Amino acid sequence: MDNTRVARVLEAIADLLELEDVQWKPRAYRAAAQSIAFMSEDINDVYQKGLLEDIPHVGSSIAKKIAELIKTGSLRYYERLKKKSKVNIEELSRIEGLGPKTIKHLYDALHITNLASLKKAAEEGKIRNLEGMGKKREKNLLEAIHFAQKTKDRHVRGHVVRDIDALKTHITRNPAAGLFLIAGSYRRYTETIGDIDILVTSTQPKKLITHINAFERIERMLAKGSTKTSFVLKNGLHVDVRVVDKNSFGSAAQYFTGSKYHNIALRKIAQKKGLKLSEYGLFRGEKRIAGKNEKSVYAGLGLQYISPELRENQGEIELAKNKKIPTLVAKVHGDVQMHTHYSDGANSVGEMIHACKKMGYAYMGISDHAGTLKIAGAMNKQQIAKQRKEIDKQDFHVLQGAEVDIDSKGKLTLKNDALKDFDYVIASIHSGFHQTKQQLTTRILAAMQNEYVRIIAHPTGRVIGKREGYTLDWERVFNTSKETNTYLEINASPERLDLRDEHIHAAINAGCKLIINTDAHNTDSLHCMDAGIGMARRGYAQDKHIINTKSYMPFLKLLKA
């Protein structure tokens, strides 16, 4: 019973109660579910320690239910509710514009319980006759059912860069467009995003929105008004655009960046101070006392500024009250995991060096695959020597590293007498993901014990949306990392982002130092460093925790330590 499963049950209870028209309880269950889904502690540990009621929005009643769920694997209260209702709420509420009230109405009037029966009723024209419904409503439902089947729910953050560029170019081309900001979860650097949220300022919002809605990649409109417009692009990506006056830019940015629960928490603070916070500003009565920029909004609430990456209502507001938010890592001076023609990279050594110089780095490291034939294009002895010569004649701090596979027994696939010729060795797991936590941990520890291994790449092996990362015995991993001065990597490539935020947070709390690398297989991918830094910031990492924030000599000293 992990956090996700507990949260799902609480969410499902909220859905069922909502359908029964129960007041307020659904909100309570949802808030508790939210806390549990996002907290970094394991719910089982919290239960063992008897601290369930310390979780925000978990009181005695919900705590009892969680305890039962953990102890017995099921929950009688939930089963009872489920038995009473025949409606597949999860399926139906995925339909755009279909919420609890309508679902209940449809069930009461037409016994609609799932997508199939909804579709049938709509096609037979039965829905238009219901009270409060009409022809348009029925048509919209049919359309929403049609599109629900083909739209993806979330996108890997790094995969929408081109769409964002195109949207920005289109929107800012219009003279009515002022300040432009990508807000929402994208700005918070979450690994996946549900949609793209864009904030633009304008003195002529209607004119600007007309222009925005003429974007050629739009497939269909979802809503349009005088302050916002929403649509779906031909590739299935949802876009929400909000237009406000520039005097509200800060408060609108705060609102539209979220997260939702962070917003609600801030608005409660405002209430307590006798103020009101909305996207239009922070108000005392009719008077706007902040809103032009985000800093003024936080200051007006008596809070230290909170970076977007931390705005998840996971303790950051409490820290900000006490001015305890640290200065987060913002920039690195080098990148030492990347691949070239020597293994499976798409660019030459020279091209990668040129690109790293353009990134503004002071140093870099090339880490082509070496040591095993299992990974495509691993270098042999001659190639390693040839690459060394090529690297050594450069007028730039270029290190020669290697990425070496850890085999299923924990042995490196290259011998020490070959490893010793590299400036540093990166070890990583590319197979045997299904071993036990113990076995996987042992493999990682064994690699860290090797004197030439300086970095463990993508430590959990996850591939976002495709493969869950494996779990490790983190305490032992962190301890060995410290003992051997082996750095755990924050791999910045879009599908990995591994270590992820909660592991980063745990690692730095344990006293580990980390390194952010892109694992670029071409020059373009070097730019995903930004996302790696974003993930590090989500994990509260500061400069002192990230070794490649150092200039060359101190970095080298740490790498060789």
- Regarding 193 and contact with ligand DGT (CB under 6 A), the answer is yes
- Regarding 65 and contact with Zn ion (CB under 5 A), the answer is no
Closest CB to DNA among residues 23, 149: 23
**Per-residue exposure over 363-377, b if at least 16 CB sit within 10 Å of its own CB, e if not:** bbbbbbbbbbeebee
Q: Which residue has the tokens 């925790």?
A: 545
Exactly one of 45, 162, 226, 382 binds DNA (CB under 7 A); that residue is 226
The one-letter amino acid at 39: M
Closest CB to ligand DGT among residues 255, 283: 255
Partner interacting with residue 24 (select from Mg ion, DNA, Zn ion, none; CB below 5-8 Å by kind)? DNA
Partner interacting with residue 272 (select from DNA, Mg ion, ligand DGT, none; CB below 5-8 Å by kind)? DNA
Residues 324 and 41: their CA atoms lie apart, in Å, by: 21
Q: Which residue has the tokens 């695959």?
A: 369
Partner interacting with residue 263 (select from Mg ion, ligand DGT, Zn ion, none; CB below 5-8 Å by kind)? ligand DGT
Long-range contacts of 376-380 (CB under 8 A, 24+ apart): 376/343, 376/344, 377/342, 377/343, 377/344, 378/343, 379/342, 379/343
- Binding range to ligand DGT, per CB under 6 A, among 17-25, 137-145, 182-190, 412-420: 182-190
DSSP string covering 355-393, please? HHHHTT-SEEEE--EES-SSSTT-B-HHHHHHHHHHHHT
Number of residues assigned to the chain = 561
Q: How far is the CB of 68 from DNA (least distance, A)?
A: 13
Closest CB to ligand DGT among residues 273, 521: 273
Closest CB to ligand DGT among residues 270, 529: 270
Q: How far is the CB of 273 from ligand DGT (least distance, A)?
A: 17
Residues 529 and 524: their CA atoms lie apart, in Å, by: 11
Residue ranges of alpha helices (H) inside 49-114 are 60-72, 76-84, 89-93, 100-110
Residues 216 and 33: their CA atoms lie apart, in Å, by: 40
- Regarding 101 and contact with DNA (CB under 7 A), the answer is yes
Give 325's DSSP letter.
P
- Regarding 253 and contact with ligand DGT (CB under 6 A), the answer is no
- From the list 126, 291, 140, the residue with the least C-alpha distance to 220 is 140
Q: Which residue has the tokens 């952010």?
A: 516
Closest CB to DNA among residues 312, 407: 312
- Regarding 224 and contact with DNA (CB under 7 A), the answer is yes
- Regarding 339 and contact with Zn ion (CB under 5 A), the answer is yes
Binding to Zn ion by CB under 5 A, coded x per residue (else -) over 340-369, reads ----x-------------------------
Query: Which residues make Cβ contacts (< 8 Å) with residue 278, sequence separation at least 6?
Result: 251, 255, 267
- List binders of DNA among 180-219 (CB under 7 A): 184, 195, 197
Residues 494 and 289: their CA atoms lie apart, in Å, by: 40
- List binders of ligand DGT among 197-226 (CB under 6 A): 197
Q: How far is the CB of 344 from Zn ion (least distance, A)?
A: 4
Q: How far is the CB of 370 from ligand DGT (least distance, A)?
A: 39
- List binders of Mg ion among 183-202 (CB under 5 A): 184-185, 194-195, 197
Q: Which residues lie across from 282 on neighbouring strands?
A: 277, 290
- Regarding 6 and contact with ligand DGT (CB under 6 A), the answer is no
Exactly one of 35, 113, 185, 481 binds ligand DGT (CB under 6 A); that residue is 185
- Regarding 88 and contact with DNA (CB under 7 A), the answer is no
- List binders of Mg ion among 211-240 (CB under 5 A): 240
Two tokens, residue 508:
């730095």
Q: How far is the CB of 337 from Zn ion (least distance, A)?
A: 9
Q: Which residues lie across from 463 on neighbouring strands?
A: 467
Q: How far is the CB of 60 from DNA (least distance, A)?
A: 5
Partner interacting with residue 339 (select from Mg ion, DNA, Zn ion, none; CB below 5-8 Å by kind)? Zn ion
Exactly one of 205, 258, 532, 534 binds ligand DGT (CB under 6 A); that residue is 258
Q: Tell me if residue 114 falls in helix, strand or coil.
A: coil
* Widest pairwise Cα distance in the chain: 81
Query: Which residues make Cβ contacts (< 8 Å) with residue 297, sequence separation at least 6?
Result: 250, 251, 254, 266, 277, 281, 282, 290, 291
- Regarding 390 and contact with ligand DGT (CB under 6 A), the answer is no
Binding site for DNA (CB under 7 A): 23-25, 27-29, 31-32, 53, 56-63, 93, 95-103, 128, 131-138, 140, 184, 195, 197, 223-228, 230, 238, 240, 255-256, 260, 263-264, 267-268, 270-272, 274, 276-280
Binding site for ligand DGT (CB under 6 A): 184-185, 190, 193-195, 197, 240, 255-260, 263-264
